[in-house]
Chains A and B, each alone.
Chain A
Amino acid sequence: MTKPRKAHGEKNRQAKTYDHIRKKASDGDAVVMTAMEFKRFVESEGVGKAAEEVDIVTTGTFGAMCSSGAYFNLGHSDPPMKIQRAWMDGIPAYSGLAAVDLYLGATELDESNNMLHGGAHVIEDLVNGKAVRLKATGYGTDCYPLKEIDTYVSLKTMNQAVMMNIRNAYQNYAAAANSSTKTLYTYMGKLLPELGNATYSNAGEISPLLNDPYYRTIGIGSRVFLGGGEGFVVWEGTQFNPGVARTPKGVPKRPAATVSVIGDLNGMTAEFVKGLTFTRYGTSLGVGIGVPIPILDEEMASFCAVTDDKIFTAIFDYSHQKRSRPILAEVSYADLSSGKVDIKGKEVPTSPLSSISKAREITEILKKRILDGSFELTEPVQRLPLDRSLRTLEVRGEKEAMK
């Protein structure tokens, strides 16, 4: 899958190994800090001392993550049924799988077209312990004769209920504003006319992938905090794009890496799994993700020392209905989180969209879980690639598509 390459970290003498850190953690001797605590520690004590003394830094993010969803195995009815179409609380679930397996996407909307209630809300309800009305139809076969069912399901009735998100935890994200004369309703929230506001959607300095810019420790097999419970990174996320411009310290200046994650809905809490509605865009799932980063050596310590004033993104003009939108300003996350940014000489108020307070809460919870031994650090079984680039969808002929 990936070309052999000289990876970051390989030139460094590994000061600590995963085994060493895990042993310290199980002995109750590990030094664990939240990302915020670690940055303050580095500021006062320096990177060298931080690398020596700190074992794990906990990072976190909570935001709208559209490429989220959950799959279910409902158990078999009697007589059994091959489900062809299914609705969970009125939201269509994909059933082009085995007889009673479904996948419900966060942005799937109910068919009344009100764009308010979607798959995300059904997932939140299930996590909250609620029962969900399941309607399904089938075409009837010799082995699956039942053609229709109308019942209720909950986490207690299903065999599997698993969150499976194909793109989460963006490493950096674009910011948005609107130079037109009318209000825009977007997945970046309500954008007021004439640069009335700007929105951004990243936890910045405490966000997982911004603390591990070259994916030395976050990889396939990493155990993570997911929606209040536990999960794993299973693959690179979709639209994984590590080749964007970076700062001298390696921090991407545009949306770059993403991760695909999986975890049992049982054990999650609605505090970190939230159905969201973006007016006139649709629904999305608010997902909380936390990742522990082992401070293996000085390079990792220096990566995790990054602060908001050293992380940059661009504010794009969403009034242009094009794939590539013009850039209005380049800003740091320190600028964005100050509450106001300068766009073409105008002072524009900002909104984060990503909940920094929840992200911080996640870093605290994860720290506590590591310290009490209920969360174990894992070493990735395979690293995320550095050689992906972003392709586009064009209208093309059959032969052209095969080139």
Chain B
Amino acid sequence: MKTKYILNFNPEASNLPITHNLIAEYGLLVNILRAEIDEVGGKMLIEVSGDEASTKNGVEYLEKIGVGVRPFKEGVRRNDETCTHCGACVSICPTDALSIDPETRKVKFDEDKCVACGVCIDACPPRAMEILI
């Protein structure tokens, strides 16, 4: 099973090898989709693959060491009324979450593929894309 989580760290937790621990101690596959760190701590978007029990244990470990964990459901939202389906976003989206349907020529947004990198936000001429994290 694959699950995406947003992790929020305080500066202390930023120094712990948590990705290593999730992999070595809990047997999870961790894909870091996005990571940011600044003076008040850090934020990471990860995709975790593993069975349900290991995923649960991994999340509990993170919470125990003071990492804020919340499931990632929606990172970028498209306002369907504002979108003109011009396609300015499709060639810059690094994960192909945005693509043009060859039949209808409308822009499709596959939220599962979106890693909330935000590249589309300021590339959208009618400003239909909004980042939520």
Task: Identify the A interface with B (CB < 8 A).
Answer: 62-64, 189-190, 192, 196-199, 274-279, 284, 286, 337, 339, 348-358, 360
Docked-complex contact B85 and A189, CB < 8 angstroms: no
Chain A positions within 8 Å of B92 at CB level: 190, 192, 196-197, 351
The stretch from B10-18, B46-54, B97-105, B109-117 touching chain A is: B97-105
From residue B122, how far is it (CB to closest CB) to chain A in Å?
A: 4
Chain B positions within 8 Å of A279 at CB level: 122-123
Contact partner of A358 among B84, B100, B125, B127, CB < 8 A? B84
Instruction: Report the bound CA distance from A339 to B101 in whole Å.
Output: 10
B42-60 vs A, CB cutoff 8 Å, 1 = contact: the mask equals 0000000000000000000
From residue B95, how far is it (CB to closest CB) to chain A in Å?
A: 12
Can you sample 13 A-B contacts with CB below 8 Å?
A189-B88, A190-B92, A274-B84, A276-B125, A277-B125, A339-B90, A351-B86, A351-B91, A352-B87, A354-B86, A355-B84, A355-B87, A357-B104
Instruction: Report the bound CA distance from A198 to B92 in whole Å.
Output: 9
Docked-complex contact A352 and B100, CB < 8 angstroms: yes
By beta carbon, the residue of chain B nearest A272 is B84
Chain B positions within 8 Å of A337 at CB level: 105
A-B interface, 4 closest residue pairs, ranked by CB to CB distance from nearest = A197-B91, A276-B125, A356-B105, A351-B91
Docked-complex contact B122 and A357, CB < 8 angstroms: no
Docked-complex contact B90 and A349, CB < 8 angstroms: yes
Instruction: Report the bound CA distance from A72 to B114 in whole Å.
Output: 44
From residue B102, how far is it (CB to closest CB) to chain A in Å?
A: 8
From residue B78, how far is it (CB to closest CB) to chain A in Å?
A: 14
Contact partner of B88 among A192, A274, A353, A360, CB < 8 A? A353
Docked-complex contact B86 and A353, CB < 8 angstroms: yes
A286 and B84 contact, Cβ closer than 8 Å, known pairs A64-B125, A274-B126: yes
Chain A positions within 8 Å of B100 at CB level: 339, 352
From residue B54, how far is it (CB to closest CB) to chain A in Å?
A: 36
By beta carbon, the residue of chain A nearest B84 is A355
Instruction: Report the bound CA distance from A284 to B125 in whole Å.
Output: 9
Main secondary structure of the interface of B (DSSP, over half): loop
Instruction: Report the bound CA distance from A238 to B103 in whole Å.
Output: 34
Q: A276-B126, A286-B126, A355-B85 are in contact. List 8 more A-B contacts (CB 8 A).
A: A62-B84, A190-B122, A197-B92, A198-B91, A348-B91, A356-B85, A358-B84, A360-B105
A189 and B84 contact, Cβ closer than 8 Å, known pairs A349-B90, A351-B89, A357-B105: no
Interface centre among A63, A197, A198, A352 (most CB of B within 10 A): A352
Chain A positions within 8 Å of B20 at CB level: none
Instruction: Report the bound CA distance from A350 to B86 in whole Å.
Output: 12
Chain A positions within 8 Å of B88 at CB level: 189-190, 199, 351, 353
Chain B positions within 8 Å of A196 at CB level: 91-92
Is B106 located at the chain interface by the 8 A CB criterion?
yes
Chain B positions within 8 Å of A63 at CB level: 86
Docked-complex contact B90 and A189, CB < 8 angstroms: no
**B-side interface size class:** 20 to 34
By beta carbon, the residue of chain A nearest B125 is A276
Chain B positions within 8 Å of A198 at CB level: 91
Chain B positions within 8 Å of A360 at CB level: 105
From residue A40, how far is it (CB to closest CB) to chain B in Å?
A: 14
From residue B80, how far is it (CB to closest CB) to chain A in Å?
A: 12
Docked-complex contact A278 and B105, CB < 8 angstroms: no
From residue A309, how far is it (CB to closest CB) to chain B in Å?
A: 15
From residue A297, how far is it (CB to closest CB) to chain B in Å?
A: 31
A351 and B90 contact, Cβ closer than 8 Å, known pairs A274-B126, A339-B99, A357-B106: yes
Chain A positions within 8 Å of B105 at CB level: 337, 352, 355-357, 360
Instruction: Report the bound CA distance from A351 to B89 in whole Å.
Output: 7
Instruction: Report the bound CA distance from A274 to B86 in whole Å.
Output: 12
From residue B110, how far is it (CB to closest CB) to chain A in Å?
A: 15
Chain B positions within 8 Å of A356 at CB level: 85, 87, 105
Instruction: Report the bound CA distance from A352 to B125 in whole Å.
Output: 12
From residue B89, how far is it (CB to closest CB) to chain A in Å?
A: 7
Instruction: Report the bound CA distance from A357 to B103 in whole Å.
Output: 10
Interface centre among B88, B92, B100, B119 (most CB of A within 10 A): B88
Contact partner of A350 among B91, B102, B104, B122, CB < 8 A? B91
Instruction: Report the bound CA distance from A368 to B7 in whole Å.
Output: 53
Chain B positions within 8 Å of A351 at CB level: 86-92
Docked-complex contact A357 and B85, CB < 8 angstroms: yes
Instruction: Report the bound CA distance from A356 to B86 in whole Å.
Output: 7
Instruction: Report the bound CA distance from A51 to B57 in whole Å.
Output: 72
Instruction: Report the bound CA distance from A307 to B99 in whole Å.
Output: 23
Chain B positions within 8 Å of A62 at CB level: 84
Instruction: Report the bound CA distance from A63 to B89 in whole Å.
Output: 15
By beta carbon, the residue of chain A nearest B100 is A339
Chain A positions within 8 Å of B89 at CB level: 351
A277 and B127 contact, Cβ closer than 8 Å, known pairs A197-B92, A339-B99, A357-B105: yes
